[in-house]
Structure 1
Amino acid sequence: MSLDNKPVYTGGCQCGAVRFRIEGALLNASICHCRMCQKAFGNFYAPLATAPEGGLSWTRGEPKLFRSSNHVSRGFCAECGTPLTYEAPDGVALAIGAFDHPEEIAPTIQFGVEGRLPYVDAIPALPARVTEDDMEAAAFLASVESCQHPDHDTENWPREKRP
């Protein structure tokens, strides 16, 4: 919480070149299934939440913009490609997955459902396993050293590269 009791959210791209801070309640947490959003996110749909007017500030870098239509620009990190924003005349929405705590932002509506891929609703029924249970990949997984920015603000980034 901020000093004036407004909720505060932070987040950014996976490499840490772009970071944001939002003060105030998020609006319209949603999922959009339209083809433009699928392509912009390279995913089945785009999960987005709108920042309150005047509540968004860029605390490190800023997204590069791609004009995806005559009404909308989409922001992304020019360094790592992380999708970050959907910028329309009615406001700026941010990718829920780019927030430091995406688990706090549950979508409340779906848009563009005519574009929903036919298998999306069946995903929860697919067999599931935790990463650590993949014994064939255990050695590989044990050797992974993440280069992603942590889910919190940092004073200096990127961290020093290892030899």
Structure 2
Amino acid sequence: MSEYDVRTGGCQCGAVRFRIQGKLGRPSICHCRMCQKQFGSFFGAFVTAPRDGVEWTREEPSWFQSSVNIERGFCRRCGTPMTYRHPDGLEIAIGAFDDRSDLAPQIQVNYSRRLPWVEHIFEAPVHEDPDYYVRQEAIISFQHPDHETTAWPAHGLKL
């Protein structure tokens, strides 16, 4: 990714959208308890945004002060966790990017705090029921698509 590349992304409902111009930093996952709670998951996955390279193109995130020098951004409408802001800069949740294919984490942070079973989660059996996925495809989703839109929500509901 060059310093001129543009990346986009946003929350699940599409109320908060961003555009990033510039080279992203190193993608990482963090096992600390605050990241686990922010994402309601096993860890948080982030990539460092370039300084002055983030533009909020719809609403901006709301902020929760999780510690003395850390703020965590989220969509106030749908709750999507989106950012981790600290004195050295801004991290964006990898899952919030429209294209995440090249953002594989390169480092684990707070590894000693990881859940003891997290290294084995991908050894679990894979659910392979084709009827299940057919039913899922029939669901009418109100989730914002993984690309820029001129008008949202497309379904006419008010955000």
TM-score, length basis structure 2: 0.92
| Aligned CA distance change for structure 1 residues 158 and 111 (closer, same or farther; 3 Å) | same
Residues 6-25 of structure 1: CA deviation (Å, up to 9, x unaligned): 12110000000000011111
Equivalent residue, structure 1, for 2:108: 110
Q: Do the aligned partners of 2:26 and 2:47 also contact (CA within 8 Å) in 1?
A: yes
Aligned residues, how many?
157
SS at match of 1:86: strand
Q: Give every structure 1 segment of 4 or more consecutive aligned residues whose post-TM-superposition deviation is greater than 3 Å.
A: 137-140
In the TM superposition, residue 141 of structure 1 has moved relative to its aligned partner by 2.4
In the TM superposition, residue 158 of structure 1 has moved relative to its aligned partner by 1.0
| Aligned CA distance change for structure 1 residues 20 and 138 (closer, same or farther; 3 Å) | closer
Equivalent residue, structure 1, for 2:45: 47
In the TM superposition, residue 161 of structure 1 has moved relative to its aligned partner by 3.3
Equivalent residue, structure 2, for 1:75: 73
Of 129, 134, 141, 2:127 maps to 129
Equivalent residue, structure 2, for 1:57: 55
In the TM superposition, residue 140 of structure 1 has moved relative to its aligned partner by 4.1
Structure 1 letter corresponding to 2:46: L
Q: Give distance in 1, aligned partners of 2:26 and 2:116.
A: 24
Q: Give distance in 2, aligned partners of 1:138 and 1:21.
A: 32
Q: For structure 2, which runs of at least 5 residues remain unmatched after alignment? A: none
Structure 2 letter corresponding to 1:17: A
